[in-house]
Structure 1
Amino acid sequence: MEHNIWNPKMECADRETIRQMQLEGLKKTVKTCYERVPLYKKKFDAIGLRPEHIKTLKDIRHIPFTTSDDLKENYPFGMFAVEKEKVIRLHGSSGTTGKPKIVGYTRNDIENWSEIVARVICAAGGTAGDITQISFGYGLFTGGFGLHYGMEKVGAMVVPVSSGNTERQLMLMQDLGSTILVSTPAYALYMADVAEKIGVDMDKIKLRLAMFGGEGHTEEMRRQIEKRWHLLATENYGLSEIGGPGYSGECYKQDGMHIADDMFITEIVDPDTLEPLPMGEKGELVITPLVREAMPVLRYRTKDISWLNDEPCACGRKSLRMAKIQGRTDDMLIIRGVNVFPSQIESVLMAMSEVEPHYEIVVTRENYMDRIEVKVEVSNPALLDKFTELEQLRGKIRHNLYKTLNIDAKVTLVSGGTLKRFEGKAKRVTDLRNL
């Protein structure tokens, strides 16, 4: 596998060079936002802040945050900083309720987007010789088009299959000799299930690399996918509000996601106080894009929990790296006063060979008390007829969950193929408390 660096000048730049670029980009973006986006003029004027007050990178802490509510309240075009005639593309969040958060792109924005996705692809090991099967949905969701344009920039062949119709996906994967899979991790697992069910010879599949996005996954789930598909699985991160995927992505070392520092300023803040946290401390990820023309945003609160690492990577890149998302400030479950992230439960289950990588978390309220139930599929179907062994497994899972969560969870074991499968973003939590 080749491990080229797409843009050594930027990806291997020293921190001082990057800081200078970031300061120039920040000043320019602040000025644009203040002069062209009414929301920011209003926010700045309310606290007496002017663009010229931003003199150093540390001054970013004086700038008000931008939230998803700001985007919703200015739907559809209120956040744009250019005339609609200059916007050549619209995308939006993949939210299932309410109106999407619309984002716009100029021709330059599309070019910059392709550039940073190309970096992520090369970091993972993608090359011009690859055949890439993109199994993301195409549409308002940024994932499909983002990886598509990046792959074309690198020179890879793109097969834009989109999501769904899994048997057809597997047929094309075999017939075309796809070497890279782009999908959600949940769909990759589902595809592996279907492949085994219909008798696909996995040794004849040529996939060598998977590039996952759209949702996070634990290390345990990653190892399962790598084992079943015989490939290297990497994760990349981005969100519509800051332009889509490409903001960060893992290299082949799988040791944190490299951030495109020349195009973004990244902060970690305390989710409660909103004060910036030092390098290495866990908190909420806040992102400021520096080169966006159509829709610049300042200090966007992602609600995602991570931490940063500024040590140079063994791959040769010197860019900041972010840890895998640990959960979200808004999908965190509070069960009897205890904070629970679904990813913690996934880590426990994926480390156990006795269960399949398909589960559902059900939260209910009984007698004013929150209760959590974890449904998971059993690997060995014969076990379902052996009461004693089944109870022992149930007890083992409950014990392991308690060690991690510090609360007691009800465990329900079900037969393989029982729980819902996902072709897009997996919805693992069913919260029945407010119904």
Structure 2
Amino acid sequence: MVEQAAPAGARQPFQLSSAPDFLPEAQLRTLQLERLQATVARAYERVSLFRERCQQRGVTPADIRSLADLRALPFTVKTDLRDTYPFGLFASPKADVVRLHASSGTTGKPIVVAYTESDLAIWSEVMTRTLAACGLHAGDTVQNAFGYGLFTGGLGAHYGAERLGATVIPTSGGNTERQMMVMKDFGVTALCATPSYFLHLLERAGEHGIDWSELPLRVGVFGAEPWTEAMRQRIEQLSGIRAYDIYGLSEIIGPGVGSECSAQHGLHLFEDHFYPEIIDPETGEPLPDGQEGELVLTTLTKQAMPMIRYRTRDITSIIPEPCPCGRTVRRIERIGRRSDDMFIIRGINVFPSQVEAALLAVEGTLPHYQITLTREHGLDRMEVAVEVTPEVLSDTVGGMAGLQQRLAESLAHVIGVRIGVRLVEPRTLPRSEGKAQRVVDQRDV
């Protein structure tokens, strides 16, 4: 990265070489332990739920002498945030809280998360490191189509891009016509969005005669929903950009917990702020690096609402090998599924990501699908509706039947059970301006 002197009063460009991403391992572990001990002491003193659970286990902050001692502490789960709604897990007085966000939960009360001035500074820092890992730099023009408001995505990406030295266009989600106008007229070089919404933009741009090869757009920063490697390949092939996966969750800080780098193999966790564990989701026992399980995160620097051993429900593994990019913060495998988005059909565990991978492996389909679950005579049934290309629609009846058969076989191979497949015309299934709704569960309707 070539560094140039900035004029007086100008924003100082972010210097990747000074980021903690490249700390020697021993120095990083020492820093983690110091921050862990301070965070545990803060939570024990100020959060009654955490203190009571520690007392039940006979654990005090003084017992945390090494990073391995973390496993002696109790887990935190999502229901804890709902049960203590709205401010029961705060470790800072309300006067020190400068920002509140909330999840877009579909049932019950939302999950409230809080930030002090220091928390916001750290959020901007990790989002800057996220965008830098995705190849962005000072001088980029970033169209931010993550939602603003109570959702953490929009403002998290916004402040990170500004701190990086980029020009930010806060389009937020929706208004697709304007999104395309901005992308074309403002010389956008990077776009932040959910992958499903970017696919929608791709589709609409084609209808308006926009040639992606003529746009300066080179990077897509995608998050807020699981997506597969096959989906990435489809996006990059259709658009010609590099598509990067980022990771975060409101309960921890928002986006900025982890990010892919130029290697596009796993997401680096910014573990100087968020300490990772992998546990067996059934027993809660820690698992070694390389073994798949549930990701558990502990915030090491958050003041307003420290999260100790938060069970994310995201299934992944820690990659033990060093990354070619030189970062020393560890990587996790792409998160393609959650332990709580699984459903069971005829005794088989099924995840939406498996369905997506099976569909995209068959030529002739579009990356838009929806799973419908029903119950007939006490038996659960599953049908997948998938959009097909216009060329397939103009094919013979036999050609359509052949594609339907190939899709059914691909699904049976990946999932282990035969399910119904319904071919539909392009633009038949609903589009989302935020997170895509892949599963419609009508079993209790």
What TM-score, normalized to structure 2? 0.95
In the TM superposition, 1:232-243 aligns within 5 A as 232-243=242-253
In the TM superposition, 1:212-251 aligns within 5 A as 212-251=222-261
Q: Do the aligned residues in 1 keep the contact of 2:19 with 2:129 (CA within 8 Å)?
A: no
Cα offset, 1:382, TM superposition? 5.4
Q: Do the aligned residues in 1 keep the contact of 2:392 with 2:399 (CA within 8 Å)?
A: no
Specify the SS of the correspondent of 1:359.
strand
Specify the SS of the correspondent of 2:251.
helix
Among 40, 49, 59, the alignment partner of 1:49 is 59
Query: Are positions 1:113 and 2:123 aligned together?
Result: yes
Q: Do the aligned residues in 2 keep the contact of 1:383 with 1:389 (CA within 8 Å)?
A: no
Query: Are positions 1:398 and 2:374 aligned together?
Result: no
1:236-257 CA-partner distances (Å, limit 9, x unpaired):
0000000111110001210110
Q: Which residue does 1:165 correspond to in 2?
A: 175
Specify the SS of the correspondent of 2:374.
strand
Query: Are positions 1:306 and 2:290 aligned together?
Result: no
Distance in 1 between residues matched to 2:125 and 2:19, nearest whole Å = 13
Q: Which residue does 1:67 correspond to in 2?
A: 77
The one-letter code matched in structure 1 to 2:92 is V
Distance in 2 between residues matched to 1:168 and 1:326, nearest whole Å = 31
Instruction: Select between 124-133 and 359-368 the one with higher mean Cα deviation.
Output: 359-368
Cα offset, 1:25, TM superposition? 1.0
The one-letter code matched in structure 2 to 1:123 is A
The one-letter code matched in structure 1 to 2:127 is V
Q: For this pair of structures, how many residues does the alignment match? A: 435
Q: Which residue does 2:7 correspond to in 1?
A: none
Distance in 1 between residues matched to 2:392 and 2:312, nearest whole Å = 45
Change (3 A) 1:336 1:107: same
TM-align CA RMSD: 1.5
Specify the SS of the correspondent of 1:233.
strand
Query: Are positions 1:256 and 2:263 aligned together?
Result: no
Q: Which residue does 1:135 correspond to in 2?
A: 145
1:328-355 CA-partner distances (Å, limit 9, x unpaired):
1110111111111100110111222211
Q: Which residue does 2:11 correspond to in 1?
A: none
Q: Do the aligned residues in 1 keep the contact of 2:341 with 2:351 (CA within 8 Å)?
A: yes
Q: Do the aligned residues in 2 keep the contact of 1:5 with 1:122 (CA within 8 Å)?
A: no
Runs of at least 5 residues in structure 2 that lack an aligned partner in the other structure:
4-13
Cα offset, 1:434, TM superposition? 1.9
Cα offset, 1:371, TM superposition? 1.4
Query: Are positions 1:433 and 2:440 aligned together?
Result: no
Distance in 1 between residues matched to 2:312 and 2:54, nearest whole Å = 21
Cα offset, 1:402, TM superposition? 0.6
Specify the SS of the correspondent of 1:422.
coil
Distance in 2 between residues matched to 1:259 and 1:179, nearest whole Å = 25
Change (3 A) 1:50 1:386: same
Change (3 A) 1:288 1:355: same
Percent identity, aligned pairs only, is 47
Distance in 2 between residues matched to 1:335 and 1:17, nearest whole Å = 48
Cα offset, 1:312, TM superposition? 1.9
Q: Which residue does 2:296 correspond to in 1?
A: 286
1:166-224 CA-partner distances (Å, limit 9, x unpaired):
01100011110100000000000000111111222322221100000111211111111
Distance in 2 between residues matched to 1:84 and 1:190, nearest whole Å = 41
Q: Do the aligned residues in 2 keep the contact of 1:250 with 1:256 (CA within 8 Å)?
A: yes
Query: Are positions 1:124 and 2:134 aligned together?
Result: yes
Q: Do the aligned residues in 1 keep the contact of 2:279 with 2:285 (CA within 8 Å)?
A: yes
The one-letter code matched in structure 2 to 1:260 is F
Among 211, 223, 240, the alignment partner of 2:221 is 211
Q: Do the aligned residues in 2 keep the contact of 1:125 with 1:252 (CA within 8 Å)?
A: yes
Distance in 2 between residues matched to 1:365 and 1:2, nearest whole Å = 61
Among 401, 410, 417, the alignment partner of 2:427 is 417
Among 77, 92, 98, the alignment partner of 2:87 is 77
The one-letter code matched in structure 2 to 1:82 is S
The one-letter code matched in structure 1 to 2:272 is D
Distance in 2 between residues matched to 1:233 and 1:381, nearest whole Å = 27
The one-letter code matched in structure 2 to 1:52 is A
1:97-133 CA-partner distances (Å, limit 9, x unpaired):
2221101101110101111111111111001110000
Q: Which residue does 2:25 correspond to in 1?
A: 15
Among 202, 216, 221, the alignment partner of 2:212 is 202
Among 393, 406, 414, the alignment partner of 1:383 is 393
Cα offset, 1:95, TM superposition? 1.7
What TM-score, normalized to structure 1? 0.97
Change (3 A) 1:290 1:68: same
The one-letter code matched in structure 1 to 2:340 is D
The one-letter code matched in structure 2 to 1:328 is R
Distance in 2 between residues matched to 1:212 and 1:228, nearest whole Å = 15
The one-letter code matched in structure 2 to 1:92 is A
Q: Do the aligned residues in 1 keep the contact of 2:142 with 2:169 (CA within 8 Å)?
A: yes
Change (3 A) 1:382 1:331: closer
Q: Do the aligned residues in 2 keep the contact of 1:311 with 1:318 (CA within 8 Å)?
A: no
Q: Do the aligned residues in 1 keep the contact of 2:362 with 2:406 (CA within 8 Å)?
A: no
The one-letter code matched in structure 2 to 1:199 is G
The one-letter code matched in structure 2 to 1:195 is A
Cα offset, 1:429, TM superposition? 0.4
Cα offset, 1:6, TM superposition? 2.0
Runs of at least 5 residues in structure 1 that lack an aligned partner in the other structure:
none
In the TM superposition, 1:258-273 aligns within 5 A as 258-273=268-283
The one-letter code matched in structure 2 to 1:310 is P
Query: Are positions 1:359 and 2:369 aligned together?
Result: yes
The one-letter code matched in structure 2 to 1:74 is T
1:359-380 CA-partner distances (Å, limit 9, x unpaired):
0011112222221111001113
Change (3 A) 1:286 1:2: farther
